[in-house]
A and B are shown apart, each in its own frame.
Chain A
Amino acid sequence: MSESASKSDKKSDECYNATAITSNAESLEFGRTCQSCAAGIAAGILGLTGFNGFILFFLSVGVQALFWNIKAQGNWLNYFPERNSFTWSIGNGLFTFVLLWVFFYGMVHVY
């Protein structure tokens, strides 16, 4: 109780619509999945191994964060309650990335 009270004191002039936040988060999830699929396919076809693949993934995460910021026109906090949403569901993204990376690497380079 005390925690939530202090939180609401901190940002006392902000008010978010829960439905809109959910919808925004869903679009972030959609973007993240697409981005990790694309990065995974690219890494697999290029035949990157070891750290190079992960570097590609985090590069694409960075590029996407840039795009998200441009899309939000610098007012990220108008759309999301916290700042660190660039790293939105990065764990799921990494999982998808690794799966597609292994798959396309296998299809193209192992056989």
Chain B
Amino acid sequence: MTDLLLDPAIRTWVFLPIVVITFLIGVLRHYISLLWMNKKKIDLENIADGQYLLRARLLRENGRFLPKSSFNSRRQYLVAEETGYLSKAMNRPAKAANPMADPTQMTEMLKGNMMNMIPMIVVGGWINWTFSGFVTTRVPFPLTLKFKAMLQRGVDLVSLDSAWVSSASWYFLCMFGLRSIYTLVLGSENAADQSKGMEDQMTGVATNPQADPKAAFKAEWEALQVQQHQFAL
């Protein structure tokens, strides 16, 4: 079925290096970002807020295992009119949530973007420049003509069967396919993955979990207010 004979040197000097380079770049990225990114400074109030929210949620979900009086006293502790923690937190004056006001946050954001963009441009460009124009491999399953544009970037041959993969496209395939393997090698909290960063940018997810604690408090407070206690045991 192989109607096209490829030089084994392509395997040694193009096909294999692309995989190895893609993988090692990911690992390098992970460790550089560990070095470079400062540990996020978290102030005590944020931690307390998070723990109280967690506690309210736990009470709401599992409160049915408690006797009614215990449930009510815990709920009062959280949502009582003047003294409850959630009520107090809800009426706290809002902090300046503008990222422009906080230069350290700006630098972090800039660093994050640079960590995403520089490897993308530099490595992608380098791979495209060094390894351009090779037909590297063939996927072992038939594909329709639509995949030609995706798999044969850099090799514009009309007569070539769409199952063949060019070197530039092989690089992209590796980049997207190695994600689970990074999780395996580096643990689930790794920063090796370029495609994840790209997805974040595309969907426009603001990477700011503490965006508006007041809204979260309000939602939790309301949910806990209307919660009916029902003893499960």
Contacts and interface: CB of A to CB of B under 8 A. Distances in A.
Contacts of A107: 11, 15-16
Interface string B59-87: 00110110000000000000000000000
Given A12-B64, A36-B180, A110-B6, A53 B223 contact: no
Contacts of A79: none
Interface string A73-111: 000000000000000000011011011011101110111
- A contact residues, range: 35 or more
B119 to A, nearest CB: 19
Contact of A50 (B64, B141, B181): B141
Contacts of B89: none
Nearest to B57: A18
B91 interface: no
Contacts of A53: 140-141
B232 interface: yes
A110 B180 contact: no
A69 interface: no
A106 B11 contact: yes
Given A37-B181, A92-B179, A96-B177, A50 B19 contact: no
27 contacts: A13-B232, A26-B188, A29-B183, A33-B184, A36-B180, A37-B184, A47-B140, A49-B141, A50-B140, A53-B141, A54-B141, A93-B180, A95-B176, A96-B180, A98-B177, A99-B174, A99-B178, A102-B139, A102-B140, A102-B173, A103-B19, A105-B138, A105-B140, A107-B11, A110-B2, A110-B138, A111-B8
Interface of B: 1-2, 6-8, 10-11, 15-16, 19, 61-62, 64-65, 136-142, 165, 173-174, 176-181, 183-184, 188, 223, 226, 232
Interface of A: 1, 8, 12-13, 15, 26, 29-30, 32-34, 36-37, 43-44, 47-51, 53-54, 92-93, 95-96, 98-99, 101-103, 105-107, 109-111
Given A49-B140, A106-B137, 12 more contacts: A8-B61, A15-B62, A33-B181, A50-B140, A53-B140, A93-B180, A102-B140, A106-B11, A107-B11, A109-B140, A110-B2, A111-B6
